[in-house]
Amino acid sequence: MKNIKNWLNIAIRGTAFIYFPLTVIFFWGYREIFSMNPGIHWVFILLYLAVFLRWLIDKYRQQTAEIEVNSFDGLDRLIEQYKFEVLDIKQTEMIVRPTFDFPFNLILEDKIFLQHSNGALTIKGPKYYIRILEKNIKGKESLWTRKSVSSFKFITIIAFAILPIILESNLVWSMDVLRHNKFRNVDEKIEAISQETRGNTLENTMNGGLAAETDEAVYYIEDDMKLVKTDKQFQNKDYLIKRDGGHGFRDLNAVGDWLYFIKGERIERMKKNTGNHTAIYSLGYALNMQIYGDHIYFMSAEDDYNIYRMDLNGNDLKELIDVNALSLSLYDGRLLVSHEKQGQPIVKSYDLNGDDPEVILDVPAYDLTVWDGYYYYLNEAGKLYRSKIKGKDKAELLVNTVVSSYIPTEKGVVFSLSPSNDVDTGEGLYMLNLENGTENLLSMSKHIESMAKVGESILFTSGKSYDENYLKRFDLESGQVETLD
């Protein structure tokens, strides 16, 4: 029972005065330096606490030892030579404490009781201090009398102690972000036309950013490797970028005189009508990239799909929401983030700084789009639903089959079905009439991978196999489908 009380006392003191303050300082310092959370799960914190307390109790638990000492005279002077302070001394008894081992010697019980009788010295106190004191009395070198060895052991102990934290945390990623912000430099700095300018529509973004439209032209991705500019009638085609291999393009955005897109692990931009494109971000795969005002928002696959933001020049990269997102949609100046909370699906709305969270849906929502007063989304099974933005009506099931991609329009919802539950590609292009719920086949096209709405047209990719990739256009007015040359 006495041992249990001793161990419990060490555990409480170690947690309250060492582990908890260091954890708070670590998280606070990490946030101050890197402007993001370290990404350490609370389970790891508890496991590391258990390891720390096991080590602390084993090292500082009360123990009794006995060594042979011929005389008690002069023992106090010998002990004081080895970084111990004599607190009290009597004829055959002595109380000492260590002057080293900060902060443990201040937080834990550090008094050592010595009693001499019949040529033997009985020592009672914390195990760690007793072992050092035994070596000192016997004239042996200890950790604290060998400076070089002491420094080496201290560094080794610290290294092994922080190694799990480094491996568990996002330290390497955080340093990459810090380096990106410090050394990021572009030749030409740009600003948004207005604070409400979008680089692309939400529905296009949720379908891979195949195309983007401006007042003068349409820009689209052809065969993954080519970036095309054309007029609104799709008559005059001009290749801005034409590549034969490498990473394909996606998440196309048009802002003023500039085009933004993702290529592999990079976010790049180029001035319209030129083929010179440069990277403004190269720290790994970005998803659901959306431009609004002066900033670019995206999910970082390198940092557990947390939400990030940077300006149009690639500067001021920072983590906004530590959430492990399933989907990111930007609508009406709010970030709509689908994720799981304690194992339950949820969609939250945040302001553009990642603050002011508000729950808007309590269902799993992928490829979330907002259209005409409704949230449209795919559930975990790939079925298409919609829910009213205002009101608590039950979600409405629109398509009771696996949908690979969809776009709401004024005419209805254009969508493609997934063969064999393969959500990466679709088979067949359909139109859902929202008034009567009927589905009409628009095209028998296969291997539909992405689509976009520009003007009164739906652009979509299609091919006979995975190796072939054609761009087709469905005219919402005429109902005709054509392949774009």
Nearest CA among 351, 397, 353, 392 for reference residue 377: 397
* pTM assigned to the model: 0.77
Nearest CA among 393, 409, 322 for reference residue 361: 393
Tokens 């489908």 -> residue? 481
Instruction: Express each pLDDT in 40-50 by its tens digit.
Output: 777 888 888 99
Instruction: Express each pLDDT in 271-298 by its tens digit.
Output: 987 768 889 999 999 999 999 999 999 9
pLDDT tier for residue 83 given thresholds of 50, 70 and 90? confident
Contact in structure between 330 and 337 (CB atoms under 8 Å): no
Distances (CA, A) of 355 to 184, 322, 349: 26, 11, 9
Instruction: Express each pLDDT in 431-450 by its tens digit.
Output: 999 999 999 999 998 888 88
Q: Where are the alpha helices (DSSP H) in 38-99?
A: 42-60, 75-80
Geometric angle at alpha carbon 140, from 136 and 143, rounded to 5°: 75
Regarding predicted confidence, which is higher, 136 or 145? 136
Q: What is the pLDDT of residue 149?
A: 45
pLDDT tier for residue 142 given thresholds of 50, 70 and 90? low
Q: Which of 188-192, 301-305, 327-331 has the highest mean pLDDT?
A: 327-331
